[in-house]
Structure 1
Amino acid sequence: MTKTHVQQMLFDAAAMGRTDMVAPLLAAGADIDAYDERGFTPLILAAYDGHLDTVNALLDHKANACKPDVSQGNTAQMGVAFKGEDQIAARLLQAGCDVNARNRQGQTALMMASMFDRKAQVDMLIAAGARRDLADTSGRTASSVARDQGNDAMADHVRNSGQP
């Protein structure tokens, strides 16, 4: 079996939630932080596809939770905001990445959670230190992103969450 084949098997295992395959494939030489042909790491694939056990296994094997995808610069944390995977979002926050990390458009996980009406993740991110005042390259904050989606309730929640 070639190293390329072993690497592809790790990408497939991550995307399918085959936690049982992570350790053997890493032992066989797969790179835990490599990019697939679309520019995603195994951790990004597992997180995006909602496989908490696989995310845990990859993180336990020291996957870089902060490594963004190649094309947009989105992190796993940003991806789970899109998908609504609250348990995975909480686990990724424990990994210690910059909660205010930005993608190529200057967007943060808080902006994405706000855009997709992920209240639990908005609260988690704010509690972890996400800054509400950061603006993307279009000048939009997390609150204005929600408002632009027609979600005034989320816009207000972002502005007032965690406030006395």
Structure 2
Amino acid sequence: MSDQQSSTMTQDEHALFAEEVFERARRGDAAMLERLLLAGLPADLSNHKGDTLLMLASYHGHQEAVRVLLKQGADPLIANDNGQLPIAGAAFKGDLPMIRLLLEHGVPVDAAAADGRTALMLAAMFNRSEILDFLLAQGADPNRQDFRGVTALVAARTMGASEAAARLEALAG
């Protein structure tokens, strides 16, 4: 085997390495992620589903890993193949501390992927009242529409999220 061949990874080794990196993000291994990023790993690396390291870390509630990724330049506005942004994933999961962290790092409160769905809409759909109130207090627009013309109120009604619908109806007032 030549020196060049021995110093390069096989395709299978690359796949295993990538799989391990994504697993580190899912588990929130902030120290390892930081070492890899400082060694040249792209901060916006994404898997076969379009999930970035940031999406995986935020979706699984790992604040320190999210801080590391953001500090190393990860873009919080990259959507996965399902059209979800990290802030939307956090709203879906009901993770208010993660939403706070993302907003503190400059994510717009009404950030949306191509489908136009915001964190407020997801909070409304799943009756996440505390998140709904927080996002509204941060200036989220309750009248914003997704690409189908659906507002947070319509989303809440459609999903039977009665508490969220009542809060939004009171705003419309």
- Aligned-pair Cα RMSD in Å: 2.2
Residue of structure 1 equivalent to 2:150? 140
Residue of structure 2 equivalent to 1:151? 161
In the TM superposition, 1:6-155 aligns within 5 A as 7-69=18-80, 71-155=81-165
Superposed structure 1 runs of 4+ greater than 6 Å apart:
none
Deviation for aligned residue 1:93: 1.1
Distance 1:137 1:59 in 2: 28
Distance 1:140 1:58 in 2: 32
Structure 1 residue ranges without an equivalent (≥5): none
Deviation for aligned residue 1:83: 0.8
User: Are the aligned partners of 1:7 and 1:31 in contact in 2 as well (CA < 8 Å)?
Assistant: no
Deviation for aligned residue 1:65: 1.7
Deviations 1:3-48 (A, max 9, x none): 9465544322111111121111112321111211110110100011
Distance 2:95 2:145 in 1: 24
Q: Could you tell me the percent identity over the aligned residues?
A: 34
Aligned residues: 161
Deviations 1:113-163 (A, max 9, x none): 1111111211222122211111223322101111111122211213446x9
**AA of the residue aligned to 1:115:** M
User: Are the aligned partners of 1:93 and 1:128 in contact in 2 as well (CA < 8 Å)?
Assistant: no
TM-score, structure 2 normalization: 0.82
Distance 2:38 2:19 in 1: 14
Q: Helix, strand or coil for the counterpart of 2:56?
A: helix
